[in-house]
Amino acid sequence: MSTIDSLASKLADDVLAAQEETGNDRLFVEIGQVLAAASQTLEEAFLTECRVRMAEQKARAALERTLAAHRGAQ
């Protein structure tokens, strides 16, 4: 893993945890803007990491709802 990828991954973990704690679901965008002023490459990697994690969370929640409905119907 490259330095940029590892930094983006760690920052995404921290920012998404802070989003959950604060309830600010757009915090990742604000942090992305801070990154854009310093490093477009890191900004892009960070935003990709955030989007991938948020998409996985939504998909996992949908899967859990589907399984709960299926198990409740049995």
What domain range includes position 61? 3-73
> Can you tell me the distance from the alpha carbon of 6 to that of 40, in angstroms, rounded to the nearest whole number?
16
User: What's the whole-model pTM score?
Assistant: 0.87
Model confidence at 1, in pLDDT bands (50, 70, 90)? Answer: confident
Give me the mean pLDDT over the 39-62 stretch.
Answer: 97
Tokens 């942090």, residue located = 31
Q: What digits encode the pLDDT tens for the residues 14-35?
A: 999 999 999 999 999 999 999 9
Question: Residue 53: what are its φ and ψ, rounded to 5°?
Answer: -65, -40
35, exposed or middle or buried, with CB in 10 Å at 0-12, 13-18, 19+? buried
Domain count, the chain: 1
Considering Cα of 64, then 69, then 70, then 74, what sign does the dihedral take?
positive
Mean pLDDT rounded to a whole number for the chain: 96
Tokens 């490459």, residue located = 41
